[in-house]
Structure 1
């Protein structure tokens, strides 16, 4: 008789936010206990320029540090500036606050006076008082979705995630049309606050592109209230913030108000039946506009090398953390020909092969065989059971050990169109997915070292299908994304035909 151990994760992910996320183990006669797989200062203030023909240089980090102690009294309780002044009604230069030093200021042709700006902001549901959450400056372009996000002080990690998420087509349309206001779950841990401020920001980003940049002050304030680790102006990991943001939005928009009771799935069920049961178990408790786009299902099989019995479990995933090889080393034992000394970079498909290939685990690595009643050496294999509409691939560039922390800068080559996932799927996947081709819609880049650096985003505009680079408040058109890069950190792929 086939024995299976099945896990269900009832939250979107583990330990990604202050939202309580639990792992539920249903009663069963499964054989193995399974070790959890690791998924993997005060901001410069924007002031009107009295001299219209001069450029206001962005203060460097040392200058910001000196000013921070004297300006604390003007900040709210999260350390965010509570007062932002509107630009004067004249041609001005925009300084670049807190971003890369090689970005030059850009001249803006501002044709609206302060009263007209206030009227437009009010139309968008945005106030212009001292407590305003968003302040914008006009731009002449007619293209939508090209509004930059000003750096509030080391918040490039947040800006890059916000731009990529707001350029996911169905997510953008959902928030832009205000549908989130009809589905707020005020009983969620975040009480709907995160979805509201993200929706407000998305609507601003996708106005007729009359504004060059906006300050996401209110969103950062709410994030700081919900997760204290994001208070202040320290640099954070973009993947950590992305997980928090998506988890929080899902909880705010979860349509399930009353969750059904737990039940046991028979141990004699086939893999396909178990997969279906546990998928239904999850979606009966978790349904939102976010889960419908980002949720997939993994199949993990563990085989005891002594008695040959196997354990199968199914887990919901929202992103995949895939390995990146160090330079000069082979990526996976079965694909040793793909070495990192290739000038064109390692194909992302090889990273996925390394993630899904068989892994031999020794006895002392916490796999307990219930039949042998002891720890055994096992072989573990992971496949995609269900593929999501939007696949988020996190490239594990940060390496940690007892004595060191390193960033792996190996170039990774990834297709802008036509990433095929069929090779990485289980045989039962054929029952669920009719298309395995994915097209790139966004990339988050990290430049610099582990202890410091700068994040930017490249996004495919869902309305004109053109690519743009988002470097905090600076938005630039590009012919195509950088698809072979040692800085690519998070990739966003959308299933072909899933534009909605």
Structure 2
């Protein structure tokens, strides 16, 4: 819903015009925003009524305080990702003013953001009000000592450029420049900012980012704003209205691309705020800042991605379609056109040409390992979601009276596993064994007798009869997602089964749960049923609506612990000791005899 308080935007075009006047001579990319009250340099918001810059509610809350103390100062713009928020509605703002001043301000700031580390989280430059300010800055800078810095209040803002060292020794200057360039090229794993109880989302995003087949696809995918993309015909008006100008795919693409590019020491974390804004719009139940279930978010996101990807087509002749490999009958891949790598890389890399080499490596790896974007585009029933996470279950219901069997095949993106009750008995004396993930899988596939309330209609007996039911896995997915059902209803409230469950980091054998005469899975001519762990999501706390989510994922051969903006390398033993909530296992390639 559009914000009814858009009239609170009073910022004038003069602010933008003054910035244009400064762009030609002032290195604006060297300036950073800071809070007027506390000098905080992160999570700052600019009031769209008076242009005052103040810190957000998750720092010292000066922007929120400013809104409460001043009439019609409810709308503000984030100085990192340019999103607009209304404190009165307590929601992000999607609409613009009648003269589109918000979008114009965004575009003007984007054009001069030359030092961005990511598409969704970038350092924005201050806006000066006059040329005289610029001249004053220039004079002050040229006469300052190596340890000096300056501050310039302007339109309720305090400007603070980064400190600069001035030296007459050209060799030292060149050496310093080279050192800065060297440091800026060091890539490191980055975290995700918590936007207010968004750890459930961050843990899912970091897990998906480290599933190579999934992330490589999005890194190679062109922007949905690109001419290489067109929307397919819609089947219903309601879906069209819901999808217009709202693409979870596009915002997720940006986040995954930023995470894959990593940081260079200047950015501690990436803000997924634009993605969260889109999620708020398409899935209203995730609005607000209360805690949500990570598994529920994962399923909503995967379903939405699948739906959106079915509605777009990569145009024939585009860089991506020319680059992608063709899958042969034996499961190997060949590249159709090696010479198009640079073109495709340029399409996928929206930040700068300097990313082409890195993205080219990702695309080449994708071309030799994974299914093609082109093949997915031709099959409107499939998407990268079903290609990576999709498997098939076979359910068998058997009448206990006549013995007639009924079989049904159902697709799945994950398996939700119950913890066998014997492992969380209220009697501590019965807690004599440790629950293993294999116990949960066996419970899922074991034969169970249906309750009286679930009597099955037998076509042979022509009435409802007692029956048994069991599941088989008919086709395993390339990435096996296992959800441990830790939350259950106890009378009128949900409780958590905070039980330690052992699981293998390497060599999870799924053979005993697979139908013997089932079809072979994709990309393999010898149906390998062995999986290796790629990521784990952990819930800390007692309740589903409270607590905290973190994740572990293997990145370049090392296990990393992702706790919102904090990233730390850990040992495999630390991973094995966690209490898993969601596990992501990657199918091992046939012939790979990796052992734990």
Question: Is residue 203 of structure 2 the alignment partner of residue 160 of structure 1?
Answer: yes
Match for 2:382 among 279, 287, 290?
Answer: 287
Alignment partner, residue 257 of structure 2: 203
Mark the CA change 1:384 to 1:142 in structure 2 (over 3 Å): closer, same or farther. Answer: farther
Q: Distance in 1 between matches of 2:80 and 2:73?
A: 13
Matches within 5 A, 1:220-231: 220-231=276-287
Give secondary structure in 1 for the equivalent of 2:295. Answer: helix
1:440-462: per-residue Cα shift (whole Å, max 9, x none)?
A: 0000000001141000011111x
The aligned residue for residue 193 of structure 1 is: 247
Matches within 5 A, 1:3-18: none
8 Å contact from structure 1 (residues 295, 318) kept in 2:
yes
User: In the superposition, relative to structure 1, how do residues 183 and 326 fare at CA in structure 2: closer, same or farther (>3 Å)?
Assistant: farther
| Residues 46 and 85, structure 1, Cα contact 8 Å, conserved in 2 | no
Confirm or deny that 1:467 pairs with 2:462: no
Change (3 A) 1:431 1:197: closer
Q: CA deviation at 1:174?
A: 1.3
Aligned to 1:444: 537
- Equivalent in 101, 108, 118 of residue 113 of structure 2: 118
Residue 456 of structure 1: aligned partner: 550
Q: Is the 8 A contact 1:327 1:410 kept in 2?
A: no
Distance 2:464 2:110 in 1: 72
Q: 1:383 Cα shift?
A: 0.7
Structure 2 residue 446 is matched with structure 1 residue 370:
no
Question: Which residue of structure 1 aligns with residue 168 of structure 2?
Answer: none
Q: Tell me, what secondary structure is at the counterpart of 2:201?
A: helix
Secondary structure (helix, strand or coil) at the match of 2:113 reads helix
Q: Closer, same or farther in 2 for the Cα pair 1:298/1:252, shift >3 Å?
A: same
Tell me which residue corresponds to 1:149. Answer: 192
> Counterparts of 1:466 and 1:302 in 2: how far apart (Å)?
44
Counterpart CA distance in 1 for 2:476 and 2:73 is 48
Separation in 1 of the partners of 2:288 and 2:477?
34
Cα deviation 1:294-328 (Å, max 9, x = unaligned): 00000100000011101000000000000113574
Aligned to 2:134: none
The answer to whether the 8 Å contact 1:410/1:486 transfers is: no
CA distance in 2, matches of 1:223, 1:440: 28
Which residue is 1:254 aligned to? 310
1:70 corresponds, among 68, 71, 84, to 68
Aligned-residue offset at 1:498: 8.5
Other-structure match for 2:271: 215
Counterpart of 2:510 in structure 1 is 421
1:105 matched to which residue of 2? none
State which of 73, 78, 82 in structure 2 corresponds to 1:83: 78
Secondary structure in 1 matching 2:517: helix
Larger CA deviation: 246-255 vs 354-363: 246-255
Aligned residues, how many?
A: 377
- In structure 2, the gaps of 5 or more residues are 1-32, 42-54, 82-108, 126-179, 314-377, 592-596
Q: Alpha-carbon deviation of 1:206?
A: 1.6
The Cα shift of 1:255 comes to 7.0
Is 1:390–2:475 an aligned residue pair? Answer: no
RMSD: 4.0
Query: Within 2, Cα distance between the matches of 1:75 and 1:186?
Result: 39
- Supply the distance in 1 between the matched residues of 2:61 and 2:312 (Cα, whole angstroms): 49
Q: Distance in 1 between matches of 2:67 and 2:407?
A: 56
- 1:341-365 per-position Cα deviation (integer Å, ceiling 9, x unaligned): 43xx311011000000001113431
**Matching of residue 476 in structure 1 with residue 568 in structure 2:** yes
The 8 Å contact of residues 455 and 467 in structure 2, kept in 1 or not, is answered as no
Question: Which of 422, 436, 444 pairs up with 1:355?
Answer: 444
From the superposition, tell whether residues 73 and 361 of structure 1 become closer, same or farther in structure 2 (CA, over 3 Å). Answer: farther
Q: 1:218 to 1:361 in 2, by over 3 A?
A: same
Alpha-carbon distance in structure 2 between the residues aligned to 1:46 and 1:366:
66
What's the TM-score once normalised by structure 2's chain length?
0.56
Looking at CA atoms only, which structure, 1 or 2, has the larger radius of gyration? 2
1:320 and 2:415 correspond? yes
**Post-superposition shift, 1:402?**
3.7
CA-CA distance at 1:367 after TM superposition: 1.8
Kindly state the Cα deviation for residue 495 of structure 1 after the two structures are TM-superposed.
Answer: 0.2
The 1-side partners of 2:583 and 2:118 are apart by 35
1:410, CA displacement in angstroms?
1.1
Deviation at 1:128, TM superposition (A): 5.8
Partners of 2:423 and 2:66 in 1: how far apart?
A: 44
Matched ranges for 1:15-30 at <5 A: none
Q: 1:479 to 1:117 in 2, by over 3 A?
A: farther
**Does the Cα contact within 8 Å between 1:363 and 1:378 map onto a contact in 2?**
no
CA contact 1:467–1:481 (8 Å) conserved in 2: no
Q: Give the drift of 1:254.
A: 2.3
- Per the TM alignment, residue 50 of structure 1 is displaced from its structure 2 partner at its CA by 3.6
1:346 partnered with 2:402: no
Between stretches 204-213 and 468-477, larger displacement belongs to 204-213
Contact map agreement 2:118 2:258 (CA 8 A) in 1:
no
* Contact 2:424/2:497 (8 A) holds in 1: no
Q: 1:75 to 1:252 in 2, by over 3 A?
A: farther
SS of 2:572 mapped into structure 1: coil
Are 2:199 and 2:549, in contact at CA under 8 Å, matched by a contact in 1? yes
Contact 1:253 1:288 in 2 (8 A): yes
Q: Which runs of 5+ in 1 are unaligned?
A: 1-44, 87-113, 131-137, 258-282, 331-338
For residues 377-412 of structure 1, give each alpha carbon's deviation from its aligned partner in whole angstroms, at most 9, with x where no partner exists.
111010100000000000000011443321001110
Secondary structure of the 2:196 match is coil
Query: What per-residue deviation string (whole Å, max 9, x for no partner) do you get for residues 86-107 of structure 1?
Result: 9xxxxxxxxxxxxxxxxxxxxx
Deviation, 1:429, is 2.6
